[in-house]
Chain A
């Protein structure tokens, strides 16, 4: 029996506008959930707090976005149902944000790659025709600036550190770089978001982003992004790898077991 079937209360967005915002919300939610796994497991207490702070920032961003989406389209009775009860193929987050916490190098590199993109993506929302979305972006950008500062400083430190730390950074880069093309992928939803004035075009900044990040990596002990024949994509269409399923089984358990559960 599919336990979820009885409780699923969320429907898929019918407008490109809410579909686009759902992507932003899902990215923040899934990366926030992924980082929350580090609570009590980071290498030092200070880093434990740092990672869970970033996690809470992201979940806060997701909450604002989910709640705003619900004022525009009646997808679910409340933000919890929308965030926590959809089947896997209705999550439209990037594959990158669901990648596992293999080691600290993976965690900080994933954050660096994502947050530097998220900064560009949210800056494109500052003049949005949707004033609430613009305000959410403005608030989030302060948090994102800090996430970049934290992640970048660790990428530099580990990349330019001991033989072991730089080897781990290189491994993480080999593993994660193939997911970065998806962050700037163009499709119907993003084109319509641009046409409607919801967002300006941020995907045209792909090359600028690559240059900025590659400079950062070069500074980190000469890390070089691997040549990737084919970037791995699919998240925007709900085609995820096995990692998202493990996140969802943790994240959705309480809401599915006790529908309507309130804190």
Chain B
């Protein structure tokens, strides 16, 4: 599966490299578009010294970590969100007659470096924020773990959003509420949101484990909601559970797929 992924991704990459002009434009474009979110944070901190109890460097850290996870999962699996387009155009049928998983083919379809802009932008923010926090190694080890788990969680949400399109072929935008909505949610400390919402994204759609819970450990902060301490280490568990759910949903979707058109 990994081999097939790399093979397809590499082939698409080579094809897109034949037109470097638009490609570079699009990388820069995605860098700027995602930079707008940082501009918003900057405007907010022009007016306040802390948001939800977190200062600018801490918010940038939360933003950068979640942004990195989201960008990685978007590059690797984000194309799955185009499922409904493929179903409508009939190209999903042709994926099913090839001896490779439909998921891998979806994920690599038109694989391009365009989304690197977002990745670079998140990395820059994180690189600026980290030195200002002065973290000891005893807590900083969690950062790569949280970025990895966050990537798996977002990838699972992309997959769930794709699987949903087997049912809602005419309304793929619903998935955006969870994928891009999840990205927007994790850009700010969860302490700004209502308690019900935070509990929902802790125990139902586990977005809280993308950055919030592990970050409470990294920043050594008490949980404003007073949730159990061990949740800070539960990100790998959440990632595993959600990815299993996503895999099952995708398989169920394929099984009940009804090819339309002639």
Q: Does A pair with B?
A: no
